[in-house]
């Protein structure tokens, strides 16, 4: 059991942190004994646990008693066991003395020191883990650190310290049994065919990119000559498309259904034609409005639903106005016949008030938190979480977006470079678990983008792992039910480990695992990343929630 000492202001984020690191814990009670105590305050009960971890950038009595030399700093990158990660809040460094645990990147300065306690070890860490988690979940990480799963690294450090101290650690991992991670395939529908665009900026942009930009890309080796011919052919056919004499090559719903088969991806649809909505400065940008109405796609929507795909809302004003959000939700509901839906904002508009506003509008989850110009972990995690300000709404963070990878004014990568960047996120997902959320826009398979081949290669790479594919709704539901799981009893005798787990629901697919570290059994599992490994024992959580193991 972990006992946590923190300020009252930190209690909400502590609760959220331990929904991500799903392990037995409670707020510290002086009458209770603990295996591990985590403190961000001045109280340091060093004689009550085998491992005491003291976080905080403020000087503590313990620092003075040990004669540490310290300096206050901010915005440093730190290094721990092969991981590099940023700290956004204040930091206390301890010079180059002591037994180092965490170091400043490219420096001898230490930010984490190991001290011999009365009955165990004391880890003194010069930043506040809960402040860091709160900052990241509230404001998001800057694109500079987009590919660093910072919150997952904080969790993993804490896990390694506990396991390294020889303490029995039990958790419900963010991954189903026999799988490495979840994948959620999503598609924003910003354009429902090019036929709706006549002599507007979208049509002229298409012609420029298909004729001239494609030619330059072919000369530079960034596009095949075959794809150049496909783009030029599309330009030639454009008048016939507008006259209704040939199929609209920007409608790609059937292509996605064929490529993804039973993967149950999610399509986010815009509710209203010609409604631009307000941007983050309160201005109306006409180019943000779309030329289709959701009722124009009734036939396609019905076909997708029959095939098992999910329909969500690609919101316009819902991020800042709950009444407008309800209108957007109701508009899509009229077509789908379903009132429980998720949302992703068009152009990823969002602010600190959006979680509460979207919740008031009636959405079950949001999937906006990601980058327009980068890929990675804006929320610092690959897990579904509850954003600050929400009571029920959950966030399904976005990690990979096609336009971020390939647009010249964003990352501007070649296909090979893009897939290499995605592979790094896949490696993180294998190690940390959670969900990898991908957004490949509905028109991206068609001319002039022609991003079908890299998408298929990305899917092939994912198929090389033990992945559970699910729609946004399915993945969010799984994490929501995981949040209800509780550790009602954990008892360890010489020969038996007994667990009584509450909140277990019937017919949950996929099921949950109980992961046990430092258990003396033969059939352990192992995973490695960046030079270190973890050993653990997994058992599928039974419906009754009772686990009894002989050891």
Number of helices followed by number of strands (H, E) in the chain = 15, 25
Cβ proximity of 387 and 355 under 8 Å: yes
Written as six digits, the tokens of 205 are: 């942009």
Model pLDDT, residue 498: 87
Instruction: Give the closest residue to 428 by CA, choosing from 515, 514, 528, 511.
Output: 528
Q: How confident is the model at residue 187 (pLDDT cuts 50, 70, 90)?
A: very high
Cβ proximity of 547 and 541 under 8 Å: yes
Q: Tell me how far CA of residue 532 lies from CA of 61, 80, 498, in angstroms.
A: 33, 11, 30
Q: How confident is the model at residue 98 (pLDDT cuts 50, 70, 90)?
A: low
- Beta-bridged to residue 534, according to DSSP, are 527
pTM across the whole model: 0.94
Written as six digits, the tokens of 427 are: 């490696």
pLDDT tens-digit series, residues 423-477: 999 999 999 999 999 999 999 999 999 999 999 999 999 999 999 999 999 999 9
Query: How far is it, in rounded angstroms, from Cα 466 to Cα 289?
Result: 40
Query: What angle is formed at CA 365 by the lines to CA 268 and CA 182, rounded to 5 degrees?
Result: 80
31: left (phi over 0), alpha (psi -120 to 50) or beta: alpha
Model pLDDT, residue 102: 92
Percentage helix, strand, coil, to 5, in the chain?
35, 25, 40
pLDDT tens-digit series, residues 262-319: 898 999 999 999 999 988 778 888 889 999 999 999 999 999 999 999 999 999 999 9
Model pLDDT, residue 42: 78
Q: Is the pLDDT of residue 389 over 80?
A: yes
User: For residue 136, which phi and psi values (nearest 5 degrees)?
Assistant: -70, -45
Cα 247 to the chain's mean position, in Å?
37
pLDDT tens-digit series, residues 145-167: 999 999 999 999 999 999 999 99
Task: Find the mean pLDDT for residues 203-217.
Answer: 95
Q: Is the pLDDT of residue 503 over 90?
A: no
- Beta-bridged to residue 125, according to DSSP, are 55, 112
Q: Calculate the average pLDDT of the chain.
A: 91
Set out the domains of the chain in order of their start, with CATH numbers.
Answer: 2-171 (3.40.50.880), 184-193+250-478 (3.20.20.370), 495-514+524-550 (no CATH)
pLDDT tens-digit series, residues 328-375: 999 999 999 999 999 999 999 999 999 999 999 999 999 999 999 999
Q: How confident is the model at residue 530 (pLDDT cuts 50, 70, 90)?
A: very low
137: left (phi over 0), alpha (psi -120 to 50) or beta: alpha
Model pLDDT, residue 180: 96
Task: Find the mean pLDDT for residues 396-403.
Answer: 98
Residue entry with tokens 């060093």: 46
pLDDT tens-digit series, residues 35-74: 999 999 877 776 778 899 999 998 887 777 776 777 888 8
Query: How far is it, in rounded angstroms, from Cα 185 to Cα 515?
Result: 27
Query: How far is it, in rounded angstroms, from Cα 314 to Cα 376?
Result: 21
User: For residue 103, which phi and psi values (nearest 5 degrees)?
Assistant: -120, 155
- Beta-bridged to residue 93, according to DSSP, are 71
Q: What percent of the chain has pLDDT over 90?
A: 75
Q: Which residue has the higher pLDDT, 29 or 395?
A: 395
Report the range out of 25-34, 363-372, 502-511 with the highest average pLDDT.
Answer: 363-372
Model pLDDT, residue 543: 79
Query: How far is it, in rounded angstroms, from Cα 196 to Cα 528?
Result: 51
Query: How far is it, in rounded angstroms, from Cα 160 to Cα 81?
Result: 10
Task: Find the mean pLDDT for residues 15-20.
Answer: 98
Cβ proximity of 68 and 81 under 8 Å: no
Cβ proximity of 35 and 18 under 8 Å: no
Cβ proximity of 98 and 114 under 8 Å: yes
Query: What angle is formed at CA 517 by the lines to CA 515 and CA 520, rounded to 5 degrees?
Result: 115
Q: Is the pLDDT of residue 531 over 50?
A: no
Cβ proximity of 426 and 436 under 8 Å: yes
Task: Find the mean pLDDT for residues 106-111.
Answer: 87
């Amino acid at each position: 059991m972990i006992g946590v000492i923190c300020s009252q202001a930190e209690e909400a984020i502590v609760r959220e942190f331990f929904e991500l690191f799903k392990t037995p814990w409670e707020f510290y009670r002086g009458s209770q004994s603990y295996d591990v105590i985590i403190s961000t305050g001045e109280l340091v009960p060093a004689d009550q646990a085998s491992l005491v971890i003291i976080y905080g950038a403020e000087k503590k009595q313990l620092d003075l008693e040990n004669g540490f030399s310290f300096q206050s700093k901010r915005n440093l990158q730190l290094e721990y066991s092969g991981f590099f990660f940023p700290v956004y809040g204040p930091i206390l460094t301890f010079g180059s003395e002591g037994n180092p645990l965490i170091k400043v990147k490219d420096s001898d300065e230490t930010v984490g020191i190991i001290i011999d306690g009365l009955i165990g070890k004391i880890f003194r860490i010069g930043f506040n883990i809960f402040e860091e988690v709160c900052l990241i979940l509230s404001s998001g990480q800057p694109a500079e650190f987009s590919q660093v799963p910072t919150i997952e690294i904080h969790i993993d450090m804490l896990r390694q310290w506990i396991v390294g101290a020889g303490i029995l650690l039990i958790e419900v991992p963010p991954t189903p049994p026999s799988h490495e991670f979840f994948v959620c395939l999503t598609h924003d529908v910003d354009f429902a065919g090019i036929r709706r665009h006549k002599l507007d900026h979208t049509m002229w942009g298409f012609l420029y990119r298909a004729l001239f930009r494609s030619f330059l890309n072919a000369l530079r080796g960034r596009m095949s000559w075959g794809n150049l011919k496909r783009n030029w052919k599309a330009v030639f056919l454009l008048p016939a498309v507008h006259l209704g004499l040939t199929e609209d090559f920007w409608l790609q719903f059937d292509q996605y259904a064929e490529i993804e088969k039973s993967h149950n991806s999610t399509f986010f649809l815009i509710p209203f034609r010609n409604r631009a909505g307000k941007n983050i400065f309160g201005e109306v940008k006409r180019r943000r409005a779309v030329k289709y109405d959701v009722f124009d796609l009734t036939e396609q929507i019905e076909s997708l639903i029959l095939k098992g795909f999910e329909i969500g809302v690609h919101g316009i004003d819902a991020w800042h106005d709950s009444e407008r959000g309800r209108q957007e939700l109701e508009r899509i509901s009229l077509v789908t016949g379903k009132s429980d839906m998720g949302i992703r904002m068009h152009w990823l508009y969002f602010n600190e008030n959006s979680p509460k506003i979207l919740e008031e509008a009636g959405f079950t989850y949001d999937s906006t938190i990601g980058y327009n110009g980068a890929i990675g972990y804006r929320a610092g995690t690959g897990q579904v979480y509850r954003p600050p300000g929400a009571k029920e709404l959950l966030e399904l963070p976005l990690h990979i977006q096609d336009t971020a990878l390939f647009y010249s004014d964003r990352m501007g990568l070649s296909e090979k470079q893009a897939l290499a960047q995605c592979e790094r996120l896949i490696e993180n997902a294998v190690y940390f678990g959670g969900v990898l959320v991908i957004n490949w826009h509905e028109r991206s398979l068609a001319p002039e983008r022609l991003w079908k081949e890299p998408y298929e290669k990305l899917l092939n790479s994912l198929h090389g792992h033990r992945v559970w594919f699910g729609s946004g709704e399915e993945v969010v539901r799984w994490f929501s039910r995981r949040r209800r799981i509780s550790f009602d009893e954990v008892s360890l005798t010489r020969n038996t480990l007994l667990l009584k787990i509450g909140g277990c629901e019937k017919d949950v697919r996929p099921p949950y695992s109980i992961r046990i570290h430092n258990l003396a059994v033969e059939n352990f599992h192992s995973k490695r990343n960046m030079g270190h490994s973890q050993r653990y024992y997994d058992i599928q959580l039974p419906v009754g929630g009772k686990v009894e193991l002989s050891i």
